[in-house]
Amino acid sequence: MPLAQAQTRSKAMLAAQDLQAVVQAAASQVETALTCLPMSLTGDQLKAHQAELQNLQSAIFEPLRALQQACQQLTQTQAELGQMQAHWHVLQQEHSSLTALLRGVKDRMQQLADRHDISAPLRQTLRAEGIPSAPFPKRKSRLNLKT
């Protein structure tokens, strides 16, 4: 394992040295280009060069700004997606709880229906029609009609 780490470290060092050489070469080219500019630029030529530099700067930095904005929007979208996933998880848990509760209610209703004095064929017919067979009272309530 230490050998692999040493190899990775040496590759990183070589890559950093290569990058440094590229940066130095670019700086050297910029210096050469600056020394090649004519020293006797008129005001109009100077303005034209400044405008060209501004156009180049815009051409370089505008896509970078757009990319930065897109990255910020992506980060925001990822955060919103994380919130939505958390809400979805809560909703799934609530759905599971409510489904279990509903099953329990249906089972209890069936138990109550089976206890009532309704004939089995009538219960089967009601179930087939989607009509719950509970609650049907076994007998009429007793009222004290004596005055």
3-state secondary structure 45-73: HHHHHHHHHHHHHHHHHHHHHHHHHHHHH
Q: Residue 43's pLDDT is what?
A: 76
Q: Which of 113, 116, 138 is nearest to 127 (CA)?
A: 113
**How far out from the chain centre does Cα 93 lie?**
19
Both tokens assigned to 121: 């064929």
> How many angstroms separate the CA atoms of 54 and 114, rounded?
87
Contact, 127 vs 147, CB < 8 A?
Answer: no
- Reading the block at residue 116, the tokens are 């009532």
Amino acid at 74: L
Alpha-carbon span 90 to 79, nearest angstrom: 17
Instruction: Give residues with Cβ within 8 angstroms of 123, minimum separation 6.
Output: 113, 114, 133
Q: Using alpha carbons only, give the angle 10, 12, 16 rounded to the nearest 5 degrees.
A: 115
Confidence of residue 93 (pLDDT cuts 50, 70, 90): very high
Given a cut of 70, whether residue 74 has pLDDT beyond it is yes
Core vs surface per residue 77-97: b (16+ CB within 10 A) or e: eeeeeeeeeeeeeeeeeeeee
Q: What is the pLDDT of residue 1?
A: 46
pTM score, two decimals? 0.38
Digit-coded pLDDT (tens) for 95-130: 999 999 999 998 888 887 776 655 667 767 777 877
